[in-house]
């Protein structure tokens, strides 16, 4: 086996191992360039400069053409569930008038005081029971419990 082939195969193996251990989408492009250099070696084993040029052009070219696409699909925002998610659907007590226009409102849920806003934009008076629809940051988004539709997933139609 010729030393050039050993060098290009070593580049491929090292880059694949580095990519597998880091998953940063950097060294995989150089592995593809190494593969192209092996093809160039098989076509013309005596021209090291052509192999090197093919390696460089292929590595940079594949990185410039495909990396933005790969990053877009691999870095999609993932929803991170927290313990606060267990509060969705719970009944809370409105402890301060909820008025989205005035930017006021609070509710007590499971013994803790939360800032609250109306999910449907209605004004909710103090003392009313509300149902938590969603949580936005540190605010409960609620609707009056009387207007909330309760769904029992265990009912049979």
What is the token pair recorded at 32?
């593809």
| CATH class of the domain comprising 83-146 | mainly beta
What is the rounded CA–CA span in Å between residue 31 and residue 17?
A: 10
What are the residue ranges of CATH 2.40.50.140 in the chain?
83-146
Whole-number Cα distances in Å, 22 to 15, 26, 73, 92: 10, 9, 18, 46
The predicted-structure confidence for 111-135, as pLDDT tens digits, reads as follows 889 999 998 888 999 999 999 998 8
* Closest by CA position to 58, among listed 72, 80, 42, 38: 38
Instruction: Mark residue 145 as left, alpha or beta (left: phi above 0; alpha: psi -120 to 50; beta: remaining).
Output: alpha
pTM for this predicted structure: 0.47
The predicted-structure confidence for 34-92, as pLDDT tens digits, reads as follows 999 999 999 988 889 999 999 999 999 988 888 788 777 776 666 666 676 778 888 99
For the chain, count helices (H), then strands (E). 3, 5
């Amino acid at each position: 086996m010729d030393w050039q082939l050993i060098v290009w195969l070593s580049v491929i193996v090292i880059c694949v191992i580095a990519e597998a251990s880091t998953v940063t989408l950097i060294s995989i492009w150089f592995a593809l360039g190494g593969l192209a250099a092996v093809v160039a070696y098989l076509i013309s084993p005596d021209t090291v400069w052509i192999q090197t040029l093919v390696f460089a052009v292929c590595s940079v070219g594949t990185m410039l053409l495909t990396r933005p696409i790969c990053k877009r699909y691999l870095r999609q925002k993932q929803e991170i569930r927290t313990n606060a998610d267990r509060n969705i659907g719970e009944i809370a007590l409105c402890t301060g008038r909820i008025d989205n226009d005035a930017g006021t409102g609070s509710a007590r849920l499971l013994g803790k005081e939360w800032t609250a806003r109306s999910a449907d934009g209605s004004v909710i008076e103090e003392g009313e029971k509300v149902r938590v629809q969603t949580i936005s940051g540190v605010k409960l988004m609620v609707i009056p419990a009387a207007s909330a539709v309760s769904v029992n997933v265990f009912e049979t139609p």
